Structure 1
């Protein structure tokens, strides 16, 4: 009887060593995601990802290699070259850096107002809106807590899902802009 038990136990222990244990993904990594079959759903996903902040869902809002971010020229200043080849990769990197400096349960507040959509084709449009973003990050070297400006998103539909294919930021007040946030957190 003992021998049978050992014959079952030894292979089970050896087999357990074949598998690598990894950290589980955060429970909220994809739970807030809604398939963006409409522009409104894409903006809902984008807003939710920024507010929580959820790097996985934030990155899912953007389309691949053709994506470009055009910074506000006054906010970019002498760092304009930093944005010359800004792609989805830089979006992820800056947002990951911001997330690391945000308390676990902290939330940002993003309000989009005066939204205007301009449809170019059935599969592409430009969404323009004023934004106000209140950030809850903990890096004391970046002082602004409220960012304001105009966001212009070029959105495209592919495989029945809308994604952000381009983003232009524009200053509308003396407040810091999203460009300022990206510029700081991509380099720190």
Structure 2
């Protein structure tokens, strides 16, 4: 008798705690945009934007560049701020991690400069005006213009995929350039 009462008591407790009820599944995790196969120039440019806009893509950032990649700082930045003239893929990867630690909600806008792009089957030169905004993680909620200027990208296609081989940065206003933003965050 005691066993039957115990079984009934346990059954009553289990039905009261919804242990056997069906529950709703959790929604899927938000997919972070990234294009794995950069077979088109535009795909590579989108991935460049995604690397800055989504901190989770910082690990993919180095995949944008060829092994012999070189970034060329704006000549005015080199002379005005004693910035080195060039740096490499390794320095780029280090910089993107620091940048994401200092800023959030970054937005990159790349605008075509007339019809200057020169795209061939295995190499290309791309010209864009850029604007980068973000919010400092230390100073609040104000959206800041982090960089503004012009860039010239030299690309090559290897094994069917586009990579950046050279990046030239140019100043266009008094706002810091992309290169200066990189240099301050390395």
Q: TM-score range by the shorter chain?
A: 0.7 to 0.9
Whole-Å separation in 2 of the counterparts to 1:43 and 1:96: 19
**Match of residue 154 from structure 2:** 154
**Alpha-carbon distance, 1:180 to partner:** 1.3
Q: Does 1:131 align with 2:130?
A: yes
Asked if the contact 1:73/1:80 (under 8 Å) is kept, the reply is no
Q: Gaps spanning 5+ residues in structure 2: where?
A: 1-28
**Match of residue 70 from structure 1:** 72
**Match of residue 144 from structure 2:** 145
TM-score by length of 2: 0.72
Q: Secondary structure at the match of 2:83?
A: helix
Q: Secondary structure at the match of 2:66?
A: coil
Q: Does 1:90 align with 2:91?
A: yes
Asked if the contact 2:101/2:137 (under 8 Å) is kept, the reply is no
Asked if the contact 1:128/1:153 (under 8 Å) is kept, the reply is yes
**Alpha-carbon distance, 1:101 to partner:** 2.0
Q: Secondary structure at the match of 1:174?
A: coil
Aligned length: 151
Q: Does 1:79 align with 2:44?
A: no
Asked if the contact 1:33/1:57 (under 8 Å) is kept, the reply is no
Q: Gaps spanning 5+ residues in structure 1: where?
A: 1-26
Please point out which of 47, 57, 61 is paired with 2:64.
Answer: 61
**Structure possessing the higher radius of gyration over alpha carbons:** 2
**Quick check: which one's strand share is greater?**
2
Decide whether aligned partners of structure 1 residues 100 and 88 sit closer, same or farther in structure 2, where only a CA change above 3 A counts.
Answer: same
Whole-Å separation in 1 of the counterparts to 2:98 and 2:59: 13
Whole-Å separation in 2 of the counterparts to 1:113 and 1:150: 9
TM-score by length of 1: 0.72
**Alpha-carbon distance, 1:151 to partner:** 1.1
**Alpha-carbon distance, 1:50 to partner:** 1.4
CA RMSD in angstroms, aligned pairs only: 2.4
Whole-Å separation in 2 of the counterparts to 1:100 and 1:50: 12
